[in-house]
Structure 1
Amino acid sequence: MKDENISGKVFDSIVLKRLFKFVKPYWKQFLFLVLLTIGVATLGPLRPYLIHIAIDEHVANGNFPGLLNMTILLIGLLVLQGIVTYLHTYISGWLGQYTIKDIRDQLYDHLLSLQLRFFDNTPIGRLVTRTVSDIETLAEVFSQGVAAIIGDVLQLFVITAIMFYTDWRLTLISLSTLPILLFSTYIFKEKIKVAFTDVRNAVAQLNSFVQEHITGMSIVQIFNSEEREYEKFVEINKKHRHANLKSVLYYSIYFPVAEIISAASIGLLVWYGAQEILEDSRVTPGILIAFIMYIQMFFRPIRMIADRFNTLQMGVVSASRIFHLLDSKDQIADNGELITDGIKGDVSFDHVSFAYDEKNFVLKDITFEVKEGHTLALVGATGAGKSSIINLLNRFYDIQKGSIKIDGIPVKDYQLSFLRRNIGVVLQDVFLFSDTIRENIRLGDESITDEQIQDAARLVGALDFIEKLPGGFDYNVMERGATLSVGQRQLISFVRAIVYQPSIIVLDEATSSVDSETEEMIQTAIERLMKGRTAIVIAHRLSTIQNAEKILVLDKGHIVEEGDHQSLLDKNGYYARLHQMQFKSLKGQQV
């Protein structure tokens, strides 16, 4: 993944401009944050200045009432500074969280609109990183990045202005070590940037390895490769440790060096300032103490600014990745507005050609028609194009050539949600979410009542086993339905398909993974469901499609034979050979 190693520019005007478009709805809070930033930068340097006045004008002259007034003023300043700092921290965090919430909403909504083609070519781990980790990094841009850097820089200007106004000679002495600190800060920033990149890449490798091998743990254990996989994990973990130790090393060197430089600056100030005081110059004890405080306040943000810039830089890189994903043009064009009283179910493919990669066509000049209420069966070897026909009917992909119509109307003219609601699909690989059976059937559609769910389950024959589970329809099936058998998962997916009362039913190897008893149960339900509905069935078991009015035999994207079961057997062609092979296989199993 090329974008994983992007360093990025700290101030990328295009990225920052797009990022702050998301702040626009909260412009009042943003302006308030700007005022608070100015307040934090201004209030801090006032404290040393007031202490300077208190010492030189009241302590030195024994003016106790004046000192009391200054003490009260200092306490009030501290309270005000505490309130402003609290508000600044809270508002910056609030603004960051609301902004990244909007970005994450928009990003996930964009992902939902993308074609399956996009997900075929993009690793899931990358999308998870963009949606979660990268957006979380943006929160730090608001709380620890932009606002903090602006506040620190503004405070440096205020402190420098007050110091020069008070005594320019002491200021020059105090800041004489600044070039050394800036140089060491720059070196640290560059080194830690590389270290953070290494850490990020090591974490990505670690996450990818763990996710992949936990998912495939059954394969690891079946082939007795636990020790080999553990050794691989140890090596990746060593890289992760090494990358983190590099960052620890740079921190452990930089901060003591920064402290030494700061201490050297204070030492020079005390040495020079004490001489000036002894010589009765305009330098006073109050000024010297105030300058010591100024130096501490001045050097602290410089020490932190390297971290701030790295935070901002990582945020800009994350924002670039997120915007790159948002700019992807793989959406399904949902320009159709047609919503009819109901779809009858006439389906036609007219000279349809389709390729997943725009080059290698998996369907080539496919033409067929299914009348309302009839059943079409698709037969062929793996890769013949059967599932592609189903994907195109649902508009998971758009075709390159030809036309697909339902009831004589191109599928592109239908509103996408209306089209898919009228096509019930049961796939071979059943996916169930970690939730209750009810929610896996309803999928968040509150318009589907419990009565409708129970009726659909009863029709399929799934009601009995569901009611025997702890909690019935409230039973949590866990991730991918791990607590259910293959047959039970298949039955639930079937209930999920028919609860919407679709006009067209699509069964993609719907009974290929179930036992004979469950298959018989599903076949009974299918017969009830198909009555008056158009059905398209993909099956390797030819015994399940013998009653279909039309059977299409596909081979390498072409229709090689077409007809009903008996007419295809009479042709003694591809279908007949396939039927004979399955018959021999079943006969061998019985023997």
Structure 2
Amino acid sequence: MAKNIVKQDEDIKKKSNFEITIRLFKYMKPYKFKVFIVILLMIFVMACNIANPYLLKTAIDKYIAGDDLKGLLKIGIFMVGINLIAMFASRIRIKSMASISNNILLTIRHELYSHIQKLSFQFFDSRPVGKILARVIGDINSLQELFTNSVTSFIPELLTLICVTIVMFSMNYKLALSAIVILPFLALSMFFIETVSRKRWQVFRTKRSSVNAFTHEEFSGIRVVQSFTFEEKKSKAFVELVKEMMGAFMKAVKLGDLFWPLIEFSSGIGIVLVYWYSVKLIDKGNITVGTLVAFTSYIGMFWRPIMNISNFYNSLITNFAAAERVFEILDTKPDIVSIHDAVKMPRIKGNVEFKNVTFSYEDGGVVLDDVSFKVNSGETIALVGPTGAGKTTIVNLISRFYDAQRGEVLIDGKNVKDVDIESLRSQMGIMLQDTFLFSTTIMENIRYGKLDASDEEVIAAAKAVGAHEFIMKLENGYHTEVNERGSRLSVGQRQLISFARALLSNPRILILDEATSNIDTFTERIVQRGIKKLLYGRTSFVIAHRLSTIRDADRIMVVDGGKIIEEGTHDELLRCKGLYYDLYMTQYRFLSEGA
């Protein structure tokens, strides 16, 4: 799996052409009747095109040679009629296939999006968001041409090629052989180009993914970039990435552009051989002028589908790299899933127990080492300790965002691995230090905690946590639109909205991970009342570095080095004069000196 580094190229597992083709065309199965109709229309159009040279031969050899003006007029009207019908049929089949292709892309995009939502934090920890977006948007868009051309170009052109070849051999097998003698050379050349070209397109898409990831990261952190005047440095890095992407693109395109010259060269050689040989046959009286004219038309019809099929093949090579990238994520199995016979989690009472839990991240050392504790329903547990001690990991295991390598995490006596994930998480409220708000109104952001909540319930939740007053001062009150991530609001205001959202969801287990760290002292006093209401009647886990905010916790667990080294109330831990005492006194002295 790729590392979470923007500039590092992704390592995509190569799949065979056959495997990708079969998998892609399975998406056409729901539209098989519509595709069948499209194919029938294409067969009709193809039959009309193939009939034209033969009708022309008949007109020359029979009606012109026989001076039959009436017969010539009839065949002319007939040719105009069938070609008009063929034109409308072709228009209908192109529109129909475009609609089918768009629906297929919608299906694949939705399948990919839904699948990514099910993947665990481990997946998102290992790759930048921009590289994921590149799969969902750019790579899937690249498949549209493939689906459209596969039916509207490849199938009719292949059928045309087969039919034209049969007609040519039936007319004169010697002329037919002279026309196709160059095909083995063309096939070998195309095979060589395909082998090298696909690798180059894979490199290009990987480079483009890195550019997307870099751009996403750059604009997400634009405040940091501008604050430290990093614009020029970032611009240079962007230019370097774009140069690498364009270099990879040019290498792929230059090789891909050899397809057309090869086809044109082979076509020219074939036509020269046919004319050279046909002159001898005409001199000997073995063929008529009409036959030569018709055969010349069929030669064009023979090489045109080869050109179009080659173009489709070139497109296939280009887009196989995109398909591989999409399937690479679809084939990534979620680490955290509900077991086959998982039961629905009943209404949680709030008893939590860790039994000899050991956990480590994929690319790191042991974070939790044989941790055991019990929490009773309704208790408020504070987790404190140095950064990286394992506090957040504990609450992530309770929510089952990760699974412990050893030991058990129990809620009301049930192992979290044995219950349905959705029924477990739907009864939990999680608030993080980095509060996320969506690009919609404040009302809708709070209602995210309970989608069927009335406006009155939303306002009541906001009042309970002290958010109502500042919301009403905004231009449109609760209907004020917030920007992406809530950038129009202060950090403290965003956290107050998150408190209201959490209260509205009425969780059975509440997790506050540094949720008050960015609130100023004045706002903290206001929100403490809301926090007490949030904590009342439910099991709560509070992670805080500001120790003054957790003095009233029922129990404080001090985590260090992956173990719980101290446990007790605020007063009890101060009397022990251990790590908690040192942390508390350090903060007290710091605040006193600052004062």
On whether the aligned pair clears a TM of 0.5, the verdict is yes
Listed as ranges, the matches of 1:192-591 within 5 Å are 192-193=197-198, 195-246=200-251, 249=254, 255=260, 258-259=263-264, 261-263=266-268, 265-270=270-275, 272-273=277-278, 276-277=281-282, 279=283, 281-335=285-339, 336-340=342-346, 342-357=347-362, 360-443=365-448, 446-590=451-595
Q: Do 2:370 and 2:563's aligned partners in 1 also have CA atoms closer than 8 Å?
A: yes
Name stretches of at least 5 consecutive residues in structure 1 with no aligned partner. Answer: none
Q: Is the 8 A contact 2:354 2:409 kept in 1?
A: yes
Distance apart, 1:320 and its partner CA: 3.8
Amino acid in structure 1 at the alignment position of 2:344: L
Code of the residue aligned with 1:45 in structure 2: it is I
SS in 2 for 1:162: helix
Secondary structure of the corresponding residue to residue 392 of structure 1:
helix
User: Shift of the alpha carbon at 1:291?
Assistant: 2.3
Secondary structure at the counterpart of residue 556 of structure 2: strand
Q: Deviations over 1:164-198 (max 9, x none)?
A: 21223333344455556556655655565455345
Q: Give the superposition deviation at 1:314.
A: 4.2
> What is the distance in 1 between the residues matched to 2:248 and 2:558?
57
CA contact (8 A) 1:52 1:286 kept: yes
Q: Is the 8 A contact 2:57 2:290 kept in 1?
A: yes
- Indicate the residue corresponding to 1:127 in structure 2: 132
Residues 344, 248 of structure 1: alpha-carbon distance in 2 compared, 3 angstrom cutoff: closer
Residues 316/35 of structure 1: CA separation in 2 closer, same or farther (3 Å cut): farther
**Equivalent in 18, 21, 40 of residue 11 of structure 1:** 18
- 1:52 aligns with one of 44, 53, 57: 57
505-514 vs 130-139, greater mean Cα deviation: 130-139
Relative to structure 2, which stretch is displaced further, 25-34 or 113-122?
25-34
**Structure 2 length as normaliser, TM-score?**
0.89
1:574 alignment partner AA: L
* CA–CA separation in structure 1 for the residues paired with 2:32 and 2:256: 37
Deviations 1:83-130 (A, max 9, x none): 332343234333333233223323322222222222222333333233
C-alpha displacement at 1:571, in angstroms?
0.8
The 8 Å contact of residues 394 and 420 in structure 1, kept in 2 or not, is answered as yes
1:26 corresponds, among 7, 24, 31, to 31
Alpha-carbon spacing, 1:467–1:515, altered in 2? closer, same or farther (3 Å): same
The 3-state SS of whatever aligns with 1:372 is coil
Deviation of 1:276 (Å): 4.7
Q: Aligned letter for 1:57?
A: K
Of stretches 471-480 and 418-427 in structure 1, the one that deviates more from structure 2 is: 471-480
Cα distance per residue 1:396-432 (max 9 Å; x no partner) = 1122333333333333454332322222111111122
Unaligned runs of 5+ residues in structure 2 are: 3-8
2:114 corresponds to 1:103 = no
Q: How many pairs are equivalent?
A: 586
- Rate the CA distance shift 1:207–1:388 in 2: closer, same or farther, 3 A: same
* CA RMSD, 1 decimal: 2.9
Work out the CA distance in 2 between the residues paired with 1:564 and 1:332.
35
Offset, 1:23: 2.9
Q: Which amino acid aligns with 1:365?
A: D
Change (3 A) 1:290 1:125: same
In 1, Cα distance between equivalents of 2:349 and 2:14? 56
For 2:175, give the aligned amino acid.
Answer: L
Amino acid at match of 1:216: G
Sort the Cα spacing of 1:510 and 1:194 in 2 relative to 1 into closer, same or farther, 3 A. closer
Greater shift, 238-247 or 387-396, is seen at: 238-247
- Report the AA paired with residue 295 of structure 2: F
Instruction: State the AA in 2 paired with 1:461.
Output: G
* Alpha-carbon separation, structure 2, partners of 1:354 and 1:251: 50
In structure 2, the CA distance between the partners of 1:18 and 1:469, relative to structure 1 (3 Å rule), is: same
What is the alpha-carbon distance in structure 2 between the residues aligned to residue 30 and residue 271 of structure 1? 43
CA–CA separation in structure 2 for the residues paired with 1:138 and 1:249 = 21
Bigger mean CA deviation after superposition, 28-37 or 304-313: 28-37
Q: Percent identity?
A: 39
CA–CA separation in structure 2 for the residues paired with 1:71 and 1:444? 73
